[in-house]
Homo-oligomer: A and B are copies of this chain.
Amino acid sequence: MLWERAREPHAHRWSLPGGGLGDLEDVEASIRRQLAEKVDVRQLSHVEQLAVFSNPKRVPGPRVVATAFLGLVPSHIDPVVPSDTAWHPVDALPATAFDHEAICRRARHRLASKLSYTNLGFALAPPEFTISALRSLYSAALGYKVSATNLQRVLSRRGLLEPTGGTVQPGPSGGRPAALFRFVSGEMRVTDPFAVLRPPSTRSLSS
């Protein structure tokens, strides 16, 4: 989500929401406040630090050090944003201000990585969803097609997904009704131990 700058520098270029750090808040409280005040986004399902961008010439004039964040909003939430603000696909960004394109790329990469070895999908998906809907979310976030078969199996085997029991009526073209699923946990946790050598007793849990 970017907003179009009205003033110089970099007028008419698109910029990430953000702002100065208040005296009584830490950086995470600050970015939550900025998003709430400036673009009325409050329903963040996940917020995490990305990196500090501190090149002395990243913005004209006096030095500005930025702490960049990755913030996610579930797909069923569509916040009303101001008129100078709009959502853009990360694969087709408009002309951005400052180093904000690099920040977006970093965020995209972080998201893709964490989707793979954590349960972060919960932060993108609605409370209930079909596997094909989840497949669309994952494909969009990762940038390549994923197999619905494997998505179902891998996430289930890791204990992240559970069926709600409900189903969804098929569309006008027919087809078997899709089962509804939910994420077991609403907090991020690492699922793939990806450890060279695990602590002796630890075993990864199967479904």
Contacts and interface: CB of A to CB of B under 8 A. Distances in A.
A194 B142 CA distance: 13
Contacts of A146: 196-197
A37 interface: no
The interface residues of chain A, by DSSP majority, are classed as loop
Contact of A142 (B23, B51, B197): B197
Contacts of A197: 138, 142, 146-147, 150-151, 154
Interface stretch (A52-60, A73-81, A83-91, A123-131): A52-60
Given A25-B56, A52-B52, A195 B63 contact: no
Interface in A119-152: 138, 142, 144-147, 150-151
Contacts of A200: 144-145
Rank and list the top 6 A-B pairs by shortest CB-CB distance, nearest first. Answer: A146-B197, A26-B54, A116-B195, A27-B54, A117-B194, A144-B199
